[in-house]
Structure 1
Amino acid sequence: MLSSEDHMAICSQLGRDITPLEAAAFENLWSEHCSYRSTKALLRTLPTDGKNVIIGPGDDAAIVSFSDKVALAIGMESHNHPSYVDPYDGAATGVGGIVRDIISMGAKPIALMDPLCFGTLDSEKTKNLFEHVVSGIGDYGNCIGVPVVRGDLIFDESYRGNPLVNVVAVGMLDPENIITGRVKTPGNRLILYGSRTGRDGLGGASFASRDLSEDAEAEDRPSVQVGDPYIEKLLIDATMAMCSTGKIRACRDLGAAGFAGASSEMASTWGARIIADNVPLRESGMNEVEIMLAESQERMLAEVAPEDVELIGSIAEKYDLAWADVGEVIAEPRYIVEFKGTVVCDLPIDLLVGGAPSCEREMLPYTLEKPFSRPDEDIRTLCLKVLAHPECAAKDWVFSQYDHDVQLRTVSLGPDAACIRLDGNGLYLTCGCNPRHIHLRPRDGTANAVLENVSNLACYGALPICAVDCLNFASPVHPEINWQIAESIAGMGEMCRHLDAPIVGGNVSLYNESDEFETQIKPTPMLGMIGKGEVIRRSPPEEGAILALIGTTRPEFGGSILDCITGCGGNAPETGDPAIVVSIRNMVQSGSFAAVTDLSRGGLLTALTKIAPRCSIEIRGDPIEVLFSESYARFLVAVHDRTILRDLPHTILGTVGGDALTILAGDETIRLTDEDMAASGQTIRDLMRID
């Protein structure tokens, strides 16, 4: 419902009351989901330009340069609230929506990433959400032929009533054939094509801009879209065929706020006159509000010169897609909609699009870190518990549902970043953040999220090209949440500038809290990042290789996996040293390492299981600090010549080889065999109890 304050402000500017369609259009386009009214001033502080940036924030997707012959489209979107109400369809349509953002730029989608956040797996509700979200993403991606190559999984009680489903899509296109989402010429026609319009998804944008109620599953089900991946595949192919003709002047996908959102945003450079009666429908008796605001999936809007309408329509028909001429671009800066011969909407287009007033809200800093309390358990027990935590556990059950090899470009899936082969080079993809660290230290934690993603690329010698973000927070009406948002964006901007990783696009998802469970999500400014480097195929280091830890380890346990399992508390990590990351990247490029991985969740222990599960190391100092601290800008490397490390802060740990992970800590020797680690239940399949 449009707030009384907004309603009064709109009527005051127009000098009249507004029609039902105008009210619905303002409710959705002025919603937080579409207008970013609580965050747009902060978002303007982020670095968005760079040597590779062709189109930054503001369009359906960003465009960056990869090579002389290849440009990349990249976007990131959330589908959080819908995925709680209907996890399968909510997650599936999240994939479909971000893929359409990519194809609207004229790009063929080539890769997906899916960072996901859920409650803890001791809840049957969470298990159900997790299972169906993963299934929805896998089924949709597999059906449209786009590989999911990377993801992230976070399990924390704060997401119990409000899971996060974020999706990154990347596409490739000829840099000479970029299509944008703003109309070019008055007199051109607007062509709607794809699926027919139904009543599903009504009010989706406004639904995504409020808290989830206790009865959300029953009350909000009509706000969740239902997708059809087979039509999406036809839509991809048809759009690529249309773009190849050179006749598409502008293109936009129909997402939040449906046809009203896409057509008004697309026409905001000039104006538009829409004939709502012309929209192809799949349900009879729909009124103008339902036609214009429904968020039915798999629909696109294109600007076409009058003489090219028949050609574009014939391509839609070839792919068995519905299409219609639904209006025209006009020179007057107004947004006009006609229905049954009557004008049902007539607004200044700049008031509807971009006219939402900003929100100034109070900020309240807080301090949540608590003193470190040393765990009572012995080191071996702690090791097994850390490895059994679902964020450290094997993710095969998830990955096995995704077709990674479709399109035949995928080189590897990790462990630190995925690689696909593109134009003779490696396109590297990584995503994620650590909400527990960010909750304790929003600025440092978000800066470290940027650093961690660049560290993942550095393990392959890849330079960052750009990043996209999805800023997931609870309600900004709470002063402490508003402070989290401001601090997180500041930390992100600072580190992105330092590491030359511009933020070229993204999404803001607020009001992620649950009345049912009385929970607020931890601040989750999720990142997706791409980089470029040589194609590197990782292999295990040879027996006898020297293992070394590079970087500075501090007693930083707050928000760590150790903290999750023991409640030990402690300080969250300070911002890591980006110079270490740059040095590692340079050394990987020169071939200095037999193996390398960065340290993140679970600290050194989980890093050892990635590249040297059979090794012997000796710990000097406090074994809890050395094994479980989650300080950033640290790397585990295997080398054959230790002298190459002389210019870096490092500690020699031991050597690769043996029949177990053997840790000598003072007078204690800890052996973790394959059987020990398997017995700890260290797979998602075991934790889900899935046969």
Structure 2
Amino acid sequence: MSLDTVKHAADTPDTGQPWAELGLKEDEYARIREILGRRPTGAELAMYSVMWSEHCSYKSSKVHLRQFGEKVPENDAMLVGIGENAGVVDVGQGYAVTFKVESHNHPSYIEPYQGAATGIGGIVRDILAMGARPVAVVDPLRFGAADHPDTRRVLPGVVAGIGGYGNCLGLPNIGGEVVFDPCYQGNPLVNAGCIGVMKHEDIHLAQASGLGNKVILYGARTGGDGIGGVSVLASETFDETGPAKRPAVQVGDPFQEKLLIECTLEIFREKLVAGIQDLGGAGLSCATSELASAGSGGMRVDLDTVPLRDATLSPEEILMSESQERMCAIVEPEKVGRFLEICEKWDVIATVIGEVTEGERLEIFWHGEQIVDVPPRTVAHEGPVYERPYARPEWQDALQADDAGKLPRPESSAELREQVLKLVASPNQASKAWITDQYDRFVQGNTVLAMPEDAGMVRIDEKTNLGVAMATDGNGRYAKLDPYAGAQLALAESYRNVAASGARPLAISNCLNFGSPEDPDVMWQFAEATRGLADGCFALGTPVTGGNVSLYNQTGDVAIHPTPVVAVLGVIDDVTRRTPIAFAEEGQLLYLLGDTREEFGGSAWSQVVHDHLGGLPPAVDLDREKLLGEILIAASRDGMIDAAHDLSDGGLIQAVVESCLRGGKGARLIVPDGLDAFTFLFSESAGRAVVSVPRSEELRFTDMCGARGLPATRIGVVDGEEVELQGEFSLPLGELSTAHEGTIPALLV
């Protein structure tokens, strides 16, 4: 078969092309022909198909994502916002922190180990490309029913992939979640986040400027793994027999990535790059088109110079390959020699594959023949924009009317005790130590909080103890009941978790996981969740630095629950003032902060005891969340509290049990006036936390809460070796520990 050159394409306008097989719609293919004034070559078609995919172009979500920039003003901390590889915020003392969350959902269902491992690898390179040293990772995960055979297939592989890759990189895994729900059966959510640290002057952007500057591809050789991988997989629904398309999942090599990280950081230190981009989704198609699009000129690439693992790869396959551990740098000619020397020192393959040119075209050649001649912005930034139709689902009213508050409640103290045990042993509320113990949480020696704490926290300056904290949260059950409120509840919980650790929330990233955008019901969920998140960020003053949209998360025509995952990053001036969740000192007083109401819609109790989903989620009061956060941060900083735990899934009793087991101390609780025991224990009202207060600090703490108008109710004391609810029941810590810690190993080992 002869090479499909630009000249050949112009001379053969009627040649049939596999645009549909590559995921393009008929009108999209027609638009490409209109842009080029001819049919595309095979290489051009490959580039447009991956770059115009849902995963890369956000063509169904762009119109809604604009709210994050329009509604939410950037605060003083924002240094780099939406549009780059990752957002960057100022955390003081000359330090900048970059962070982001992304998805690797579909690849992880097909090949759990490599899908999850390369998800970690990809997000780490995003952070590296900003100029930062990666310092920690997090992993929000969602799987099908805990006792389903396919969960046993997928979950161990995903966990091993995350742990194997992250541990080999020497990056502590400090946070995340594991949630089980039948809606994720056949479509798990494997989201991955990373935090990186740099000085302000070290920030790098993805752009190719400077006539004559060289384009250098460095890192691993390009192979046949992951051809069209996530860029195609993430734009496809799964049917009952598997994905509609099965391109190879990318294969990761963490040791190569570790070399790439150290090599890149040395290159940064010597200021050898004018622009840089990692190769992730869409591979070279993305890196070349985005660098050229964001720069001030054009670009010429000689594709036959790309180092290959498989010499049989066609130009189209090289452009679509998502082989891992690769970066693309723009380097001034006089610095190329030193750049290559450093790469050789680290045993990293580096090749000059092109240069920045005059004009505004991206031109790619194969053995001297031109196979690509495109305006790069049309590939990278001017893809389709869809105003997808959406409407409130017909079933939404009936779902909300099915009030969880009408479910049968325990009728005796014995039944109340039994339901507490059932709750703490349920897969979602049980200890995840079997999973998190497979991750190295303390490598590098700077981790100060990690799972199962409310937020992960790392020290970034050993002299001053400056640190950052991150939490990720998202409750798909709440979002199914009300996507607008559900997104705000995810934001509020993540914000609350960071504040409970003692850190001040600064900014957010997000990973928006939804079903098919071609379904008006799903698109309504997405529109509402995005609107809710934008409004919530405005109210809390937490700008969105970037994120990820993952659509087509469904099996057949059954979509997952709408699952907006929100990552909040916070800063703490002195990590030695952090607040853990453990009740560790007998005699300390327990205070419940916030208001408790009869709110059980989407609750853990309704799921565990009644297998029910219906009603309305807890009400959101973002002014209260902000006030609660301020109180928790001030109390932590000034030594007024020794422990704090936010109240969310499972309500007060879940938080108390976790804090007691974490500290090895019991608690005696009393039901406050105006509440019944059931509501006190199981309500999931938002804007609440439980804290342990040294007796010497009680007056100072309650005076502060009273002066600020935050309800603070004394509910008990840290004491003994059991959790006792006065007048109702007692549960020895040993019995609680057995129930809490035995569930996950029994299901998965």
Partner of 2:468, secondary structure, is strand
Q: Distance in 1 between matches of 2:76 and 2:714?
A: 38
Deviations 1:207-237 (A, max 9, x none): 21111233437x7553310010010011001
The Cα offsets for residues 572-619 of structure 1, whole Å up to 9 and x where unpaired, read as: 111133233333333333322232211011100111113345111122
Q: Does 1:656 align with 2:708?
A: no
Deviations 1:528-548 (A, max 9, x none): 121111313535342222222
CA distance in 2, matches of 1:434, 1:541: 29
Task: Give me the whole-angstrom Cα distance separating, in 2, the residues matched to 1:683 and 1:86.
Answer: 28
Q: Aligned partner of 1:382: which letter?
A: Q
Cα distance in 2, alignment partners of residues 687 and 505 from structure 1: 39
Which residue is equivalent to 2:3? none
Greater alpha carbon shift after TM alignment, 294-303 vs 385-394: 385-394
What's the secondary structure of 1:542's corresponding residue? Answer: coil
- 1:15 matched to which residue of 2? 37
Equivalent of 1:26 in 34, 42, 48 = 48
Select 1:419's aligned residue among 430, 441, 457: 457
Partner of 1:248: helix, strand, or coil?
Answer: coil
Contact 1:21 1:289 in 2 (8 A): yes
- 1:679 deviation in Å? 4.0
Task: Kindly indicate whether residue 632 of structure 2 is the aligned counterpart of residue 584 of structure 1.
Answer: yes
Q: Contact 2:197/2:460 (CA < 8 Å) preserved in 1?
A: no
Quote the residue 1:618 is aligned against.
670
* Structure-1 residue corresponding to 2:487: 446
Q: Matches of residues 267-278 of structure 1 in structure 2 within 5 Å?
A: 267-268=292-293, 269=295, 270-278=297-305
Give runs of aligned pairs for residues 593-632 of structure 1, distance below 5 A: 593-612=641-660, 614-620=666-672, 621-632=675-686
Q: Distance in 2 between matches of 1:655 and 1:399?
A: 30
- Residue deviations 1:155-204 (CA, integer Å, cap 9, x gap): 11110010011111111112112111111212111000110011111112
Shift of 1:5: 1.1
Number of the residue aligned with 1:531: 570
Select the residue among 327, 333, 336 that pairs with 1:309: 336
Conserved 8 A contact 1:102-1:171: yes
Identity percentage of aligned residues: 38
Which of 558, 570, 574 matches 2:619?
Answer: 574
Matching of residue 505 in structure 1 with residue 546 in structure 2: yes
CA distance in 2: counterparts of 1:509 and 1:604, whole angstroms: 33
> Do structure 1's residue 151 and structure 2's residue 199 form an aligned pair?
no
**Residue number in structure 2 paired with 1:318:** 345
Aligned-partner residue type, residue 564 of structure 1: Q
**1:48: how far off?**
6.1
Higher helix share: 2
Mapped contact 2:290–2:377 kept (Cα < 8 A): no
Give runs of aligned pairs for residues 193-232 of structure 1, distance below 5 A.
193-204=218-229, 205-216=231-242, 220-232=245-257
Q: How many residues align?
A: 684
Q: Does 1:281 align with 2:322?
A: no
- For residues 268-308 of structure 1, what are the alpha-carbon distances to aligned partners after superposition, in whole Å with 9 as ceiling and x for unaligned? 12221111000001111211101111111000000001122
Do residues 674 (structure 1) and 733 (structure 2) align? yes
The aligned counterpart of 2:477 is 436
* Superposition pairs of residues 550-561 of structure 1, within 5 angstroms: 550-561=593-604
Alignment match of 1:386 (pick from 416, 423, 432) = 423
Aligned match of 2:436 in 396, 399, 421? 399
Given that residues 396 and 684 in structure 1 are in contact (C-alpha distance below 8 angstroms), is that contact kept between their aligned partners in structure 2? no
Determine the C-alpha separation between the residues in 1 that align with 2:486 and 2:409: 28
Tell me if structure 2 keeps the 8 A contact 1:555–1:571: no
Name the structure 2 match of 1:62: 87
Q: Secondary structure at the match of 1:267?
A: helix
* Helix, strand or coil at the partner of 2:591: strand
The answer to which of 278-287 and 560-569 deviates more is 560-569
The aligned counterpart of 2:5 is none
Tell me, what secondary structure is at the counterpart of 1:554? coil
Question: 1:466-521 CA deviation, whole Å, 9 max, x = no partner?
Answer: 11111111011111111111111111112212222111011110000012xx5311
Report the counterpart of residue 37 of structure 1 in structure 2: 59
Partner of 2:590: 547
Q: Which moved more, 1:569-578 or 1:76-85?
A: 569-578
Q: How does 1:92-131 map to 2 (within 5 A)?
A: 92-131=117-156
Q: Name the counterpart of 2:510.
A: 469
* Matched residue type, 1:571: L
Amino acid at match of 1:90: G
The alpha carbon displacement at 1:126 in A equals 0.6
Please report how far the alpha carbon of residue 441 of structure 1 lies from its aligned counterpart in structure 2 after TM superposition: 1.2
Q: Could you tell me which residue of structure 1 aligns to residue 10 of structure 2? A: none
Q: 1:457 to 1:100 in 2, by over 3 A?
A: same
| AA matched with 2:616 | N
Partner of 1:364: 391
Q: Distance in 2 between matches of 1:635 and 1:359?
A: 42
**Given residue 118 of structure 1, which amino acid in structure 2 is its aligned partner?**
F
Rounded to whole Å, the distance in 2 between the matches of 1:63 and 1:24 is 32
1:486 aligns with 2:530: no
TM-score (norm 1): 0.96
1:359 positional shift: 0.6
Give the distance between the partners of 2:291 and 2:238, measured in 1 at CA.
Answer: 30
What is the DSSP-based 3-state SS (H/G/I as helix, E as strand, rest coil) of the residue aligned with 2:670?
Answer: strand
Q: CA–CA distance in 2 between the matches of 1:474 and 1:497?
A: 26
Q: CA deviation at 1:689?
A: 4.4
Does the 8 Å CA contact 1:373/1:570 hold for their aligned counterparts?
Answer: no
Displacement of 1:652 in angstroms is: 2.2
1:111-190 correspondence runs (5 A): 111-190=136-215
CA distance in 2, matches of 1:683, 1:590: 38
User: Gapped runs of 5+ residues in structure 2?
Assistant: 1-21
Amino acid at match of 1:619: V
Deviations 1:211-264 (A, max 9, x none): 1233437x7553310010010011001111111111111110111111111111
Distance 1:331 1:213, change over 3 A: farther
The question of whether the paired residues in 2 share the 8 Å contact of 1:428 and 1:530 is answered with yes
Q: Distance in 2 between matches of 1:580 and 1:144?
A: 37
**Residue pair 1:111, 1:171 contacting (<8 A) in 2 also:** yes
CA distance 1:322–1:214, shift in 2 (3 Å):
farther
Conservation of the 8 A alpha-carbon contact between 2:132 and 2:202: no
Checking the alignment, whether the CA contact within 8 Å between 1:434 and 1:524 is kept in structure 2 is yes
Q: Whole-Å Cα distance in 2 between the matches of residues 177 and 86 of structure 1?
A: 36
SS in 1 for 2:239: coil
For 2:531 and 2:638, how far apart are their aligned partners in 1? 34
Give the C-alpha shift of residue 56 in structure 1.
Answer: 0.7
Residue identity opposite 1:136 in structure 2: G
Establish whether residue 373 from structure 1 lines up as the match of residue 411 from structure 2.
no
Deviates more, 1:163-172 or 1:39-48: 39-48
| RMSD of aligned residue pairs (Cα, Å) | 1.7
Moved more, 445-454 or 272-281: 445-454
